[in-house]
Structure 1
Amino acid sequence: MPRPFGFSYDRRPDGTVTITHQGRPAGTLRGARAEKFLAEAASGDAQLVMARWTGAYKHGNERTARDHPRNRR
């Protein structure tokens, strides 16, 4: 069964927000943090917002990978 691409989130009736990445849980937000996340996701690029909130955003190795000999042109 193919997994969904990218991030998605599910808002539960109790106010909890569960963020998943490719169908697997990546984070759970409750209370004020959940409300702040929902407001931010609605106003911007939701994929970028979810990546930032789960910590899966720019691990710091992008420059190193770009400068590696096999990636140079």
Structure 2
Amino acid sequence: MPQPQGFSHEQRADGTVVITHRGRAAGTLRGGRAEKFLAEVASGDAQLVMARWTGAYKFGNERTARNHPRNQSGRR
């Protein structure tokens, strides 16, 4: 599975953390969630952590979903 790329985060003066993906806002965290996020980013792979927190990462089932009969309309 490829590593996620293009994520960055910014901690603002009021404690809010804004996560961006390729320059577009992907999530905003405040309070305890922001603190927990910052601790997790500091201790692990930042790109993977940000992808997980925003929900913008691959689950590995894309090929299975593409081949499902429900998704075969128009393809033969």
For the criterion TM > 0.5, the same-fold answer is: yes
* Structure 1 position 57, deviation (Å): 2.0
The TM-score normalised by the length of structure 1 is 0.75
Give the partner amino acid of 1:37. F
Structure 1: gaps (5+ residues):
68-73
Match of 2:43 in 1: 43
- Count of paired positions: 62
Once residues 9 and 54 of structure 1 are traced to their aligned partners in structure 2, the CA distance between those partners, rounded to angstroms, is: 11
Task: Classify the secondary structure of the residue corresponding to 2:33.
Answer: helix
Match of 1:19 in 2: 19
Give the partner amino acid of 1:8. S
Larger Rg: 2
The TM-score normalised by the length of structure 2 is 0.73
Match of 2:8 in 1: 8
Task: Classify the secondary structure of the residue corresponding to 2:58.
Answer: coil
Ranked by relative contact order (alpha carbons within 8 Å, sequence separation 6 or more), the top structure is 2
Once residues 43 and 60 of structure 2 are traced to their aligned partners in structure 1, the CA distance between those partners, rounded to angstroms, is: 26
Determine what percentage of the aligned residue pairs are the same residue: 81
* Structure 1 position 60, deviation (Å): 4.9
Once residues 53 and 14 of structure 1 are traced to their aligned partners in structure 2, the CA distance between those partners, rounded to angstroms, is: 20
1:26-54: CA deviations, max 9, x gaps?
A: 00000000000000000000000000000
Structure 2: gaps (5+ residues):
68-76
